[in-house]
Amino acid sequence: SKLKVEYVNTVKTGGLKIQKKAAEDETLTGTYTFKVTFSDVGGAGLEKKPIEKPVTIDMSQGNTGTITGIPVGTRYTIEEVETSDGSTLQSVTVPDGQYAHVIGKTMVEGEIVESNNPNDLEVTAIFTNTKRKLINIEFNKLWEDADGTDLSTKKPPDTIYIQLQRRLKTEEDWKPVNYPADSKKDY
């Protein structure tokens, strides 16, 4: 008689849960697509190139998207790549206790850890979008006296604080910005 031996290997797995959130006092109704890139799969690094998997969140169906069954030790990045409603990424956060961190305010990078309950994953990353128009403000701090004398050698302070102010075109007084504020007014 012949003896048949069967081996079953099991891989410990975990998952990712991406949450889409609206900025304070806003509602999001669109569809959001994220690019999730996996590398060093299972901590073995045998793949020839990183593996990309899109995750789509349709806010009419809920505000989370998940991927399960990912081998423990796999490295990943998550970034938002498309929105259907014209909203803009306002912030990216990682809840406490996750093996992940935010890169450059737009991406999350981390490592998969074993899930105790794949059906009840904790949120890995929260991507918050706003429909308000966002602007970048750049400035240079010059260490000069009012007459143009260079003060940079006079031991400038270690830290300075900037207060953004604005006023309505019809007003004379400038007021500190209380963000988020009403974006419909003509500032």
What distance in Å separates the CA atoms of residue 22 and residue 137, rounded to the nearest whole number? 23
For the stretch 12-59, pLDDT in tens is 889 999 999 999 889 999 999 999 999 998 888 788 899 999 999 999
What distance in Å separates the CA atoms of residue 122 and residue 127, rounded to the nearest whole number? 15
What distance in Å separates the CA atoms of residue 80 and residue 55, rounded to the nearest whole number? 9
Maximum separation of any 2 CA atoms in the chain, in Å: 102
* Residue 41 near residue 76, CB atoms below 8 Å: no
The reported pLDDT for the residue numbered 59 is 93
DSSP 8-state code for residue 122: P
Tokens for 32, please give them.
């959001």
Give the pLDDT band (50/70/90) at residue 160.
confident
Cβ neighbours around 167 below 10 Å, total: 11
Tokens for 11, please give them.
């891989």
Nearest Cα residue to 29 out of 179, 129, 132: 129
For the stretch 48-75, pLDDT in tens is 899 999 999 999 999 999 999 999 999 9
Q: Report the predicted TM-score, pTM, of the whole model to 2 decimal places.
A: 0.71
